[in-house]
Structure 1
Amino acid sequence: MPVSLHSHVPARFNMVNADEIARLCYDRFNKLPRRGKPEPGREWTLLAAVVKSIRCADSDTVEKEVVSLGTGTKCIGSTAMSPNGDMLNDSHAEVIAKRGCVRYLIQELHTAVSGGDSSVFCPADQRGKWKLRPGVSFLFFTSHTPCGDASIIPMTDSQSQPCPPVTSVKAHKGTNGGGNLKRKAEEPSDGKNTKLPRLEEQETAETQLEDRGELKQSFLSDSSKTEAPSQSVETASSDSPGPHPQIPDIHRTGAKCVPGGLADPLHPGVGYHSTGLLRVKPGRGEPTLSLSCSDKLARWGVLGFQGALLSHYLQEALYFSTVVVGKCPYSQEVMHRALVTRCSCVSDLPAGFSVCPPVLLQSSLEFPFSQGQTELRHQAGQGRISPCGAGRILTHIFLAVGTAQITWNPILSILILATFICGPNQIQCEQTSTTRAFLYLFRRTELQTYWDYKQASQSYQQAWQQLRSQAFPLWPRSDRDLLLFR
């Protein structure tokens, strides 16, 4: 039988306890096998999870269970994307956990349709449709503030200020200033010891922090400054006497503004970023087509996290009731702006969809494999601290047979489609007794490809059109050729 981790709290204490959720997810991660985890003291990663909550009708308890868990910090570039559905473009922990949850929901739906006892679904009022059982809800946990808009957070006095200050670089149209970086790095400097690092060095340093979703310090030196990178900039003039006030600044995100709209001003301090914008995640040396986790969480607050395929059979979209963030740089106001405010204006959604913002909470518990904790535990001789090269996905259905390691060639996208259409007996990677005879009744002969099934989910596509037109007009459209796999 699958192993699960539960927590029971009295229903009269109905408020979600952020530390309880974080501890539940960390404990579940700790119980996983060692393979695929970061090397303590040298590697770090991000963790995200989906927690199912069931309020028991016949008792005063709430049962919580981790049904999906993922780690990862990587994205592939646009040129590496595969038309065969066998490459996972976005391996950030939040996306991995959400995809694993969809896989779990497909199995639960099959159980319900087959007459079994699903803990999640029951028949809806509309014939042929299903809905969540009374008392069932889902919470989302992430160990770090989502990359993108939610990571553009004012720094506090207790946090290190970035150093040295940023040179104002005006972006070329549609390039976010990328063309100016190389030119600036190659220009000679009039001052001593003010040579800018080579562009390759800048990219390497930025990429390490971009993997985490934020940039804690800038890597373009102001030509008038000579401070070492490890020092704090406390004043605009080193000649002025007395204590120097710190320059207010913000945490940076490595996610880049989508082309066609506003770009980041790249001014020093708080003027470095524009806020409220759609952003794409950074890749390894080339652009990606993956929207930031902030953007995706905001989208799930309107379209639901079930996706287009499950929407064929659900009467209502599924929304996260709560989003919990682990201990890290965090701002409630910024999280609300990124995940809620940007979509609050959306209206005229089809039946079953609504603007459903989650409750936003932060835990006081830090993930043991966060970058900060890894730096604290780093010892001489361990080598350079770096993000973990592997990712991990865990869903409830995998608990009996282990976990799948996600690197650069996962099969999760095509796996979800295949289980949706034809069942697991035709999937070589999951020929197990826990997943046989899967969803055969969902086969529709007039629909052949992943694109076909997504587009045939009419209500979902209508809701997506309303969201795009009213809140996210610059959201890039998926290349149809990449979605025609069968």
Structure 2
Amino acid sequence: MENGEDIAQKIADLVVESFNGLKLKSGKPVVRSNGVKEWTVMASIVAIIDQKDDDIEPKIVPLTMATGVKALPDKIRSYSKGRLVHDLHAEILALRLFNWYLVQECIRIKDELGYNSSVIERMANGEGYKLKAGVSFGLFITEPPCGDSSMQHLVTEKEDSSPWVDEKEPSSKRQKVDGQQESKIDISRGRGNFGKLGIVRTKPGRSDSQITLSKSCSDKLCIKQLLGITNSFSSVLFPEGVFLDYMILQRKKYHEVDMKRCFQSRFLDLLEGKETLHPHPLKILLYDQDHYEFHKPKEKDVAEPSPLSLLYVIPEKKIQVLQNGVRNGTYIKNSLPRKGGESFICNWHLSNQIRSLKSLGYTSYLEFKASLVARNDLKKIGTTTLGNWNPTSNDDFEL
């Protein structure tokens, strides 16, 4: 893409303008009654659509937007039944929203005579859907993704420049391996073991917090270079896959060494030359200025992360606010939410959405996931390449 910097700044301007223009009673960070200011990360999936005239800049269309910095503990999966959204980091939520949007576009193409989607079309054989020619996708984020791609950024934000020390005792869990006796699995939690680079990490969290096991955004985005950004449900509609082409970051927060190590040398370079694999490289575009009000503060500043996540599907003008993985105001501790409290992007709702297009043919979510053999084989290659990828607990439900 020519004039990448101009495009990156245009994307930042459009996304932040869309966010600032939202007039909401709740969902955005606030100043608390004790004077403490809240902050959060914001992310957006944008479509970049080439124009027929090469002299005209690509059209930028923000599709989804999300905020969030939380992740739920792994134990909630024992009762979630697909109704809770586990990973509430902004970039993962933006991708979940994007998958909801993709399926919604497929439904419209099927049901609305003459509907013309700006990003997808039916395949010629009628067996699925694909991207239109000239369409690519970018992920805008107000902070570098948590995990391996942001380690140097964390150092520069520290008030104390002394090196971080490793955890005295690595966090661990017990897990059955190949049905045999339980074994102890080491886990690198968030910012623990800071001196170790190029490793898989869980979502950040206090050392005394319950373990989430949800992988860092850096690690999840690595895997998506191989799998694509469709999820288990939407992948059955897009046999050619849908990939992320660009990540759009603020220049002053970008550290080339971290990004190249995370997404290239520890992953893409190790997969190079394998004929059956076609990983999709992720290009970084940098912008300089934005008017986002809720950037992560410096370490010395008195501020707290917002407990809420804002979901926004921009073309649909569909908005929802989440807390603890469910609609704000419906959370019940150690239980499913109040009736109707499930988010429209939880797996249970997504399974209902996809069934209007395709019969899944299985009685449970885990049976359906197990049937995606090619996708599962690719994921295994990706997680084995990264190493130390300890799976989360199962979250099954009836289909």
Category of TM-score, reference length = shorter chain? 0.7 to 0.9
- Alignment partner of 1:458 is 2:388: no
CA shift in 2, pair 1:276/1:485, >3 Å: farther
Q: Is the 8 A contact 1:108 1:119 kept in 2?
A: no
CA shift in 2, pair 1:101/1:297, >3 Å: same
Give the Å deviation of 1:63.
1.3
- Alignment partner of 1:260 is 2:186: yes
Matches within 5 A, 1:383-462: 385-396=303-314, 398-399=316-317, 402-410=318-326, 411=343, 412-413=345-346, 414-421=348-355, 440-444=356-360, 446-462=361-377
- Determine which of 72, 89, 94 is the counterpart of 2:91: 94
Q: Is the 8 A contact 1:54 1:135 kept in 2?
A: yes
Matches within 5 A, 1:215-294: 259-260=185-186, 272-283=194-205, 285-294=209-218
Return the alpha-carbon distance in structure 2 between the equivalents of residues 129 and 16 of structure 1.
35
Any idea what SS the aligned residue of 1:51 has?
strand
- Structure 2 gaps of 5+ residues are 174-183, 327-342
Pick the structure with greater CA Rg: 1
Q: Is the 8 A contact 1:94 1:142 kept in 2?
A: yes
Alignment partner, residue 253 of structure 2: 329
The one-character-per-residue Cα deviations of 1:453-485 (angstroms, maximum 9, x if unpaired) are 32323322221122223x1342222433x1334
Alignment partner, residue 242 of structure 2: 318
Q: TM-score, normalised by structure 1?
A: 0.66
Matches within 5 A, 1:163-242: 163=160, 165=162, 171-172=168-169, 175=172
Return the alpha-carbon distance in structure 2 between the equivalents of residues 15 and 330 of structure 1.
14
Alignment partner, residue 122 of structure 1: 121
Give the Å deviation of 1:300.
1.1
Counterpart amino acid of residue 24 in structure 1: L
- Determine which of 277, 295, 316 is the counterpart of 1:370: 295
Give the Å deviation of 1:110.
1.9
Any idea what SS the aligned residue of 2:195 has?
coil
Return the alpha-carbon distance in structure 2 between the equivalents of residues 358 and 385 of structure 1.
32
Matches within 5 A, 1:124-163: 124=123, 128-153=127-152, 162-163=159-160
Return the alpha-carbon distance in structure 2 between the equivalents of residues 461 and 154 of structure 1.
33
Return the alpha-carbon distance in structure 2 between the equivalents of residues 58 and 294 of structure 1.
36
The one-character-per-residue Cα deviations of 1:396-437 (angstroms, maximum 9, x if unpaired) are 3540xx51001113222222222112xxxxxxxxxxxxxxxx
Give the Å deviation of 1:174.
5.1
Alignment: residue pair count: 358
Any idea what SS the aligned residue of 2:297 has?
helix
Give the Å deviation of 1:355.
1.1
Structure 1 stretch 291-300 or stretch 79-88: which is displaced more? 79-88
Hey, which of these two has a bigger chunk of strand by percent? 2
Give the Å deviation of 1:336.
1.8
Return the alpha-carbon distance in structure 2 between the equivalents of residues 291 and 28 of structure 1.
29
Identity of aligned residues (%): 22
Any idea what SS the aligned residue of 2:366 has?
helix
Q: Is the 8 A contact 1:350 1:459 kept in 2?
A: no
Alignment partner, residue 14 of structure 2: 24
Return the alpha-carbon distance in structure 2 between the equivalents of residues 263 and 373 of structure 1.
21
Any idea what SS the aligned residue of 2:246 has?
strand
Give the Å deviation of 1:294.
0.6
Counterpart amino acid of residue 355 in structure 1: P
Return the alpha-carbon distance in structure 2 between the equivalents of residues 395 and 304 of structure 1.
20
Return the alpha-carbon distance in structure 2 between the equivalents of residues 260 and 484 of structure 1.
29
Return the alpha-carbon distance in structure 2 between the equivalents of residues 169 and 51 of structure 1.
38
Give the Å deviation of 1:342.
2.0
- Alignment partner of 1:39 is 2:35: no
Q: Is the 8 A contact 2:44 2:91 kept in 1?
A: yes
Return the alpha-carbon distance in structure 2 between the equivalents of residues 454 and 348 of structure 1.
28
Any idea what SS the aligned residue of 1:314 has?
coil
CA shift in 2, pair 1:126/1:475, >3 Å: farther
Q: Is the 8 A contact 1:311 1:457 kept in 2?
A: no
Counterpart amino acid of residue 14 in structure 2: L
Give the Å deviation of 1:68.
0.4
Counterpart amino acid of residue 131 in structure 1: K
CA-atom RMSD, angstroms?
3.3
CA shift in 2, pair 1:124/1:341, >3 Å: farther
Give the Å deviation of 1:151.
1.4
Q: Is the 8 A contact 2:158 2:299 kept in 1?
A: no
Give the Å deviation of 1:313.
1.9
Counterpart amino acid of residue 281 in structure 1: K
Give the Å deviation of 1:331.
0.1
Give the Å deviation of 1:328.
5.0
Give the Å deviation of 1:12.
7.0
Q: Is the 8 A contact 2:225 2:243 kept in 1?
A: yes
Give the Å deviation of 1:286.
1.0
Give the Å deviation of 1:152.
0.9
Give the Å deviation of 1:130.
2.1
Give the Å deviation of 1:448.
2.4
Structure 1 stretch 11-20 or stretch 112-121: which is displaced more? 11-20
Q: Is the 8 A contact 1:22 1:363 kept in 2?
A: yes
Counterpart amino acid of residue 396 in structure 2: L
Q: Is the 8 A contact 2:9 2:287 kept in 1?
A: yes
Q: Is the 8 A contact 1:68 1:97 kept in 2?
A: yes
Return the alpha-carbon distance in structure 1 between the equivalents of residues 98 and 124 of structure 2.
24
Alignment partner, residue 79 of structure 1: 75
Return the alpha-carbon distance in structure 2 between the equivalents of residues 319 and 26 of structure 1.
23
CA shift in 2, pair 1:39/1:261, >3 Å: closer
Counterpart amino acid of residue 146 in structure 2: C
Counterpart amino acid of residue 70 in structure 2: K
CA shift in 2, pair 1:84/1:266, >3 Å: closer
Give the Å deviation of 1:303.
0.7
Any idea what SS the aligned residue of 2:81 has?
coil
Return the alpha-carbon distance in structure 1 between the equivalents of residues 154 and 220 of structure 2.
24
The one-character-per-residue Cα deviations of 1:319-341 (angstroms, maximum 9, x if unpaired) are 11110113553201211211232
The one-character-per-residue Cα deviations of 1:150-186 (angstroms, maximum 9, x if unpaired) are 1111789xx566437468556436559xxxxxxxxxx
Q: Is the 8 A contact 1:171 1:265 kept in 2?
A: no
